[in-house]
Structure 1
Amino acid sequence: MSETATAVRPAEKPRGAASRPPVSREKARARRDARSAWVLLAPSLIILGVMVAYPAVLMVIQSFTDYTVRNKVQGTMPNFVGFENYLDLFTQSDFPEVLIRSLALMVVMTVFIMVLGVLIAVLMTRLGRAWRIVVSVGLLLAWAMPPLTATVVWGWIFDTQYGLVNWALNTITGTQDWTNHSWLLNPFSFFFVLTIIVVWQGVPFVAFTTYAGLGQVPAEVLEASSLDGANGWKRFWNIVFPYLRSVLTVVLVLQIIWNLRIFTQVYALQSRGGIASETNVLGTYLFRQGPGEVAFTAAIGVVMVALLLILSWGYVRTTLKEEEL
């Protein structure tokens, strides 16, 4: 009897075995998935490091030196000057004026683009199928046109001698007061034409994105609010807008970034008659700096990057909080 009990009794584990639990399959699979993810991300990270990280770090380093083309040609090392380039940028140049001008233009363009884009998106939900297709094609044509081509076309519309706008104004007023009127020579009218071009090409993106977001709003909720007596504005602000808040936030941040770094339209209009010193924005101001002033130009680039990060930080922080949840 004792021999049988002894045979059935399970083998005793060593004392140290209980204190070392085996690695679970889930943890091993998680480590394996993490390694696979890093392997798949490696090419993209390498490209980002070469194309973005390295130039950005180099730009920051050069902004604290007196690096010029002469140093590159002679193979000499630049001198460290600290914040001298940044002080000269804000005290001994017209950069503050260009910065204020760019921010003001960005605000005006962004407001017009967002408001018109949302209104057109809401209008498309009320149109029939045929008219909705017509509006969509028109928006696509404006969106697909390259910025330089659009600027050339609008430049001819506002041309001094052959412009359609001057001819139409002469016809409406019955005078010749608008003959040979230059829209690009005066800074105010220059930015008026620039705003039309940028808004004309920026509205389609906002309209299409908002129209797609409107499809996520439950029709039953809108119908119930309409039966309760809510007007169109209340339905949009209290029901539709909460569904579109995340979409409109992304679109708003993108429009701020795009409108703050416009270059092609401004440069093309300046080439058609605008005065560069009075119509420069951040992009053209950076481009028109002396090619030898590498360090000073790098300081401008650092300020632009810092400004864009500050303007988009609210959206980035909200996105990170949502991912943590």
Structure 2
Amino acid sequence: MSATLAEPDATPRTPKTKPPRRPLNSSAGSRKKKRLPWAPWLLLAPSIVLLAVMVVYPTIVMFITSFTDLEIKNKMLGTSPNFIGFDNYIEVFTKSDFPAVLVRSLGLMVVLTVLIVVGGMLIALLMLRLSKGMRLLVSIGLLFAWAMPPLSATVVWGWIFDTDYGLVNYVLNTITGTQDWRGHGWLADPWSFMMVLTIIIVWQGIPFAVFTFYAGLGQVPDEVLEASQLDGAHSVQRFRFIVLPYLRNVITAVIVLETIWNLRIFTQVYALQQQGGIVSETNVLGTYLFRQGLGEFGVTAAIGVFMVILLMGISYYNVRSSLKEEEA
């Protein structure tokens, strides 16, 4: 027996491999996998129902109403409105001051978005250079500004720019040594009204941009920045060719969000108008839609439809950019 095993010509025996055993419950497992796709829809059902009730249904009603002459008298008398086609849209753009309000809103939106994005990026870069204690102090100050309700912030800033007892007029009188600024109404002039409005919105909107950019700057590799510095790139070149490409998606998201939010401003404008602003010369889309809604519902619905289309067009750019980044 041992001699036979020691022979060099003896071919080694290979153990036979057995085929993998098929699990007995494979059919049951496949049936379970086929039943799983309905689970995500079940989890999303409450959100879908809420969106349908709060967004889809009102949007459909608004779209239908925009083609009718529905007024408050129809609600009081219980009568049905008449279908008038695109007459409401024609009236909005030809027989009202809506075009002027639209231009004012778009111009204000551009100014606010640029100031918030640029200012937020500068403060975020500054926070990287500050010490830990100073960074904490700046963060707390930004959080206080961000946490204050828009109405409360507008009232406080309205007191600061008050005609008779405002802090701004007092400081200007102290600096100039005269009483020329006493009784100066900042909200009475449309341009100074927009300046005060810009200060309020930027003051409250810039913390979001700062914290978002600061978080994004933390994702830029230090090794890449150090290598570029050794190659002789100065700070502007490092920011342009290294930091900006890394923050491209973050900057795009902040720009789109700020654009939408700044186009939908209402509280600050309405509160300042109540404190002395000229309504007809300071209206934006939100306040114009609110004041128009007290009469002709058909015209108001036409304005609302136009705003929805405008906001959807702006949001489409963000979705399209995000999908392109995911495909790449």
TM over 0.5: yes
Percent of aligned pairs with the same amino acid: 65
Determine helix, strand or coil for the equivalent of 2:37: helix
How far apart, in 1, do the equivalents of 2:323 and 2:28 lie?
A: 30
Question: Could you report, residue by residue, the CA deviation over 1:246-300 in whole angstroms, capped at 9, with x for unpaired residues?
Answer: 1111111110000011000000000000000000000000111152311111011
Determine helix, strand or coil for the equivalent of 1:65: coil
2:275 to 260, 272, 275: 272
AA aligned opposite 1:265: Q
The residue that corresponds to 2:242 in the other structure is 239
Q: What are the ranges of 5 or more consecutive residues in structure 2 without an aligned counterpart? A: 1-25
Shift of 1:26: 8.6
Determine helix, strand or coil for the equivalent of 2:36: helix
The residue that corresponds to 2:225 in the other structure is 222
Question: Could you report, residue by residue, the CA deviation over 1:37-69 in whole angstroms, capped at 9, with x for unpaired residues?
Answer: 011111110010000000001000000111122
The residue that corresponds to 1:190 in the other structure is 193
The residue that corresponds to 1:38 in the other structure is 41
Shift of 1:229: 1.0
Q: Please, which moves more after superposition, 239-248 or 305-314? A: 305-314
How far apart, in 1, do the equivalents of 2:42 and 2:85 lie?
A: 40
The residue that corresponds to 1:10 in the other structure is none
How far apart, in 2, do the equivalents of 1:235 and 1:89 lie?
A: 49
**Counterpart check, 1:203 vs 2:206:** yes
How far apart, in 2, do the equivalents of 1:246 and 1:25 lie?
A: 45
The residue that corresponds to 2:53 in the other structure is 50
Aligned Cα root-mean-square deviation (Å) = 1.6
The residue that corresponds to 1:94 in the other structure is 97
**Counterpart check, 1:68 vs 2:76:** no
User: How does 1:58-137 map onto structure 2 within 5 Å?
Assistant: 58-137=61-140
How far apart, in 2, do the equivalents of 1:290 and 1:315 lie?
A: 30
AA aligned opposite 1:285: Y
**Counterpart check, 1:150 vs 2:153:** yes
How far apart, in 1, do the equivalents of 2:100 and 2:79 lie?
A: 34
How far apart, in 1, do the equivalents of 2:33 and 2:240 lie?
A: 44
The 8 Å contact of residues 70 and 292 in structure 1, kept in 2 or not, is answered as no
Distance 1:308 1:176, change over 3 A: same
- Count matched residues: 303
How far apart, in 2, do the equivalents of 1:227 and 1:26 lie?
A: 59
Shift of 1:323: 4.6
The 8 Å contact of residues 120 and 207 in structure 1, kept in 2 or not, is answered as yes
AA aligned opposite 1:173: T
Greater CA radius of gyration, 1 or 2?
Answer: 2
Shift of 1:77: 1.8
Distance 1:110 1:33, change over 3 A: same
How far apart, in 2, do the equivalents of 1:228 and 1:323 lie?
A: 32
Distance 1:290 1:213, change over 3 A: closer
How far apart, in 2, do the equivalents of 1:176 and 1:203 lie?
A: 34
